[in-house]
Amino acid sequence: MRLVIKDGEVTSRKIKRVRDQKEFVFREQSGFVSLNDETRRVSLSLADDQAPYPVGSYEILLDGSAYVDRNGRLALGRLALKPVSAATLATAAR
């Protein structure tokens, strides 16, 4: 499974908990996940002090990075990524 980060832009969302109105800030970055012939845009959650993922192509290491959510859908958790070299991308494109 491949992940492509096209830009380092991070968006923030503020949410207030209904029970006590405590405010939480969620930081996210967009990327594109490709598996076989399908590509989907995904939102990647970032920790408060986490730098954005650098622009580039990555292989998602599936040990702990992906899981099936409560709705039976594939979801991404804390990512373990391995950068993909330009040579590997060129070979895959052939």
Give the total number of structural domains in the chain.
1
Q: Which residue from 26, 68, 24 is spatially nearest to 45, judged by alpha carbons?
A: 26
Angle in degrees, CA 40, 46, 50, rounded to 5: 135
Residue 66 domain boundaries: 2-93
Angle in degrees, CA 19, 74, 52, rounded to 5: 70
Q: What is the CATH number of the domain that holds 14?
A: 2.40.50.140
Structure tokens at 93: 């494109």
Question: Residue 75 — very low, low, confident or very high, per pLDDT cuts 50/70/90?
Answer: confident
What's CA 87's distance to the chain center, in Å?
23
Total count of residues recorded for the chain: 94
Residues 1-60 have pLDDT tens digits of 899 999 999 999 999 999 999 999 999 999 999 888 899 998 898 988 999 999 999 998
